[in-house]
Structure 1
Amino acid sequence: MILDSVTLQVAALLVILVSALMYVLDTLMLKDGSPGRYWSAAYLSGCLSALCYLIGLVLPGAYIAVAIGNGVFVGATGFIWLGCLSFNGRPMRVPLIVWAAAVPAVAVAALAAGPDGGTWAGAVPFFLGNALFGALGAIETRRGAVRGRWSAGGLTVIMAIESLWFATRAVVFIASGPESDLFLAVFDTRVASLLTIVLVVAAVIVTSTLRSSESAFRGHVAARNLTVDGDGILFRDSFRGALGILLTRARAAEEDPCVVCLRIDDLRRVSMAFGPEEADAILRAFRGAARRHAPTMALVGETDTTGITVAFITTSVTDVSRVARSLRDRVVADVAALQTTVAPVVGVGVALAGQVGFDAERLIEAADAAAAEAVLTGRQPFGLA
């Protein structure tokens, strides 16, 4: 059976339409936050672009519809990126300006060719626009709060595939032209329609999962900032939110918060050499010891799987290096008490808000970088990052 371009475009339109309808209805029922609204806009834009391309296929002279379809398609990819930025709490002003400049530029590039521009009018800006926003989206899914969700890996793959495919499509288009055998076999409109169907279905599933996790705690900000695991350790996003509140209050009170990061050597090698049970036992002892020996009123949260961050307010008599040394020594002692086959290295890093700045991400990154360096080199400076 041979599927022509019109049939595949109709199929893509139906898939996108059903996906967008389901997603938008969920958005309305959940009273969604800004990430869900951006993603809803992406699927609605996908519907409009598919409809425009269908009009362009049925009516070859409708070059305006193709131009609008190009711009809106790039806009849909950009909306996925904007949703990830919003999910991570990034500043949105500059990204919105970039989006608002790129989308009309792609459409104008197709319109500039006029009625004689043909099906591929403005193709290169269209390809490159999707490649750009796809790459930005893939990068953003590996940062901040999105990275902490297991389902984000699927969105990373989706955006990376789109970016790579469109970038390669642009290169082949420029080098060989749209009538070449390679372009017709791998990058033709029919292939694009099939790829769109697959990626849209996958993206709807992933963004729905991400939106659900984001909506679950949105009703009250403090609820999201007090989510802890069984050891009483704040989850990554919760810790950053709580630390942000602490830093705001500390700056107003002219106090100097301190962040201490503990990092244990990569346990994957322990798991491969001596079994996952031993690696799990070491990790549980490490996390429990960090929580147990941290200053009583300190915030304790996870940096990632093998890292713990402790934040507390210092005074004029606080010896930060002594606190860091004592905390690391006690954690190492508790881990060593397991008498496992191998004793992994534990590194410590310290950062003061008065020197690094009253920004949660910068403080954690500075202290964690020092802890990672201590793990690699074996040198424990116990001083400031």
Structure 2
Amino acid sequence: MVFDMFSISLCTAVVVIVAGVQFVLDTVLRRDTGAGRIWSLAFIAAILTTLCYLAWVASDQAGIAIALGNAAFVVGTGCLWLGSRSYNGRSLSVSAWIVAGAAAAVLVASLVDGPNGGAWAGALVMFIALAVLAGLGAVESRRSAMGRSASTVALTLVLGVQCAYYVARSVVFVTVGPADPFFLTWFGTITTSFLTIILTIVAVVSMSVLRSGQARLRGRGDSTTLLLDADGLYDDDSFTKLFGDLTQRAAAFSERIAVISVRLDDLPQIATAFGTVDAQDIAHAWRVGSRRYAPTSAIVGYAGASGIVIALQPSSIGDARRVASRIHRRLLDDFGSMGTSVVPVLGVGIAVSDIAGYDSEALFTAANDAAVRSASSPDASVMIAGAV
């Protein structure tokens, strides 16, 4: 069976438009926010792309339609990356400019080539931009919240295949040229159209499942249970959920957040050397004091058996350090006034979004690492992760 250019372009447009309209309407009806809205922009850009290319094929004249279609294609792929970053609670301030810059570069390159470039005006710049953005999207889909969801594997596959395809397409385009039979057979418009149809169907299903998962977490019918112990501290899983939500909301508005890690790593040694009673008294004072001396609005929870973490929104990095220093000083005062045989080694570390970004896992790990260094350093009572 031989496919003509107009028929395959029309078929691609129908699939993309139907999938895109369904996703966008679902977004509007759900009143979705964050990642869902950005992914909707990706489908709107994809619809614009197919309409531009269809207009070009129908008129058989390259020009503004090719330029707009190429730029919209880059925006659509870029929005898949941006949506993934939003889902993971990462900042979009820099990445959004990267996508906008890539789309502008493709638009300018296509217009500069003009009618003389024909169907391949600005093609190489577009291929490279698509490969880079799809690769970034594939990597982002395996990180943080998306990486923990099995539903993202299909989206990772879509973006990974797109990245690999456009890397190969760029190499063959430069090596043999767009008129070569090998390029036309394996990387021409018809082959790309079939690939687009398959990837669009897989992508819309994957993102719909991801969005439904977020909606279930928000809905009352499938709520999340948070566990608070007798000392007023959240367990590890509960703190992770609350802190992940805090970082995601703070990232959306570029608000500063910090996490303070308060560690007592020598409790087992104290129990062995001085008895379990002293160890239990110290542990109780550590738990109660960490919560008492933390800000009222802070989220306080466990980080394993020897760590307590405190999430807060300080006015500055200096403010976060003052809070951590107060907690450190008052806990040591409490330990000293207990009359136990030993004063434990206390480590306090801070991680702030200004330095460590908005990834909740990265902030959590950085604060704990800083607390470990604090406990082993005689020169600093409190350490800030990444500070010079």
Corresponding residue of 2:30: 30
- Percent of matched pairs sharing the same residue: 32
Give 1:71-110 correspondences, 5 Å limit. Answer: 71-110=71-110
Distance 1:357 1:5, change over 3 A: closer
1:299 aligns with 2:297: no
Superposition deviation, residue 241 in structure 1: 3.3
Which deviates further from its counterpart, 309-318 or 107-116? 309-318
User: TM-score scaled by structure 1?
Assistant: 0.67
Partners of 2:100 and 2:355 in 1: how far apart? Answer: 32
Partners of 1:44 and 1:94 in 2: how far apart? Answer: 22
- What letter corresponds to residue 45 of structure 2 in structure 1? S
Distance 1:140 1:354, change over 3 A: closer
- What letter corresponds to residue 26 of structure 1 in structure 2? D
Deviations 1:68-97 (Å, cap 9, x if unpaired)? 111101110011111111112222222222
Q: Pick from 305, 311, 320 the counterpart of residue 309 of structure 2.
A: 311
SS state of the match for residue 258, structure 1? strand
Distance 1:237 1:311, change over 3 A: closer
Partners of 1:201 and 1:356 in 2: how far apart? Answer: 37
Superposition deviation, residue 29 in structure 1: 1.2
Deviations 1:135-190 (Å, cap 9, x if unpaired)? 11112112222222221222112111111111111111001111223312211111
Which deviates further from its counterpart, 36-45 or 141-150? 141-150
- What letter corresponds to residue 116 of structure 1 in structure 2? N
SS state of the match for residue 110, structure 1? helix
Deviations 1:12-34 (Å, cap 9, x if unpaired)? 11111111111111101110012
Structure number with larger C-alpha Rg: 2
Partners of 2:61 and 2:353 in 1: how far apart? Answer: 60
**Unmatched runs of 5 consecutive residues or more in structure 1:** 248-254, 263-292, 323-349, 375-379
1:258 aligns with 2:261: yes
Give 1:202-221 correspondences, 5 Å limit. Answer: 202-218=202-218
Contact 1:19 1:201 in 2 (8 A): yes
Superposition deviation, residue 362 in structure 1: 4.3
Deviations 1:207-238 (Å, cap 9, x if unpaired)? 11111222334579xx77x657xx96526851
Partners of 2:264 and 2:180 in 1: how far apart? Answer: 56
Contact 1:239 1:301 in 2 (8 A): no
Partners of 2:238 and 2:172 in 1: how far apart? Answer: 45
Contact 2:46 2:73 in 1 (8 A): yes
Contact 2:259 2:352 in 1 (8 A): no
Superposition deviation, residue 114 in structure 1: 1.9
Give 1:172-211 correspondences, 5 Å limit. Answer: 172-211=172-211
Superposition deviation, residue 353 in structure 1: 1.7
Partners of 2:352 and 2:25 in 1: how far apart? Answer: 48
Corresponding residue of 1:329: none
Contact 1:234 1:301 in 2 (8 A): no
- What letter corresponds to residue 60 of structure 1 in structure 2? D
Corresponding residue of 2:5: 5
- What letter corresponds to residue 244 of structure 2 in structure 1? G
- What letter corresponds to residue 16 of structure 1 in structure 2? V
Partners of 2:162 and 2:30 in 1: how far apart? Answer: 29
Corresponding residue of 1:352: 349
Deviations 1:343-371 (Å, cap 9, x if unpaired)? xxxxxxx7612899996544422367799
Contact 1:243 1:299 in 2 (8 A): no
Partners of 1:227 and 1:174 in 2: how far apart? Answer: 56
Corresponding residue of 2:241: 238
Partners of 1:148 and 1:37 in 2: how far apart? Answer: 21
Partners of 1:361 and 1:17 in 2: how far apart? Answer: 37
**Unmatched runs of 5 consecutive residues or more in structure 2:** 228-233, 251-257, 266-283, 292-299, 311-323, 336-346, 378-384
Superposition deviation, residue 309 in structure 1: 7.3
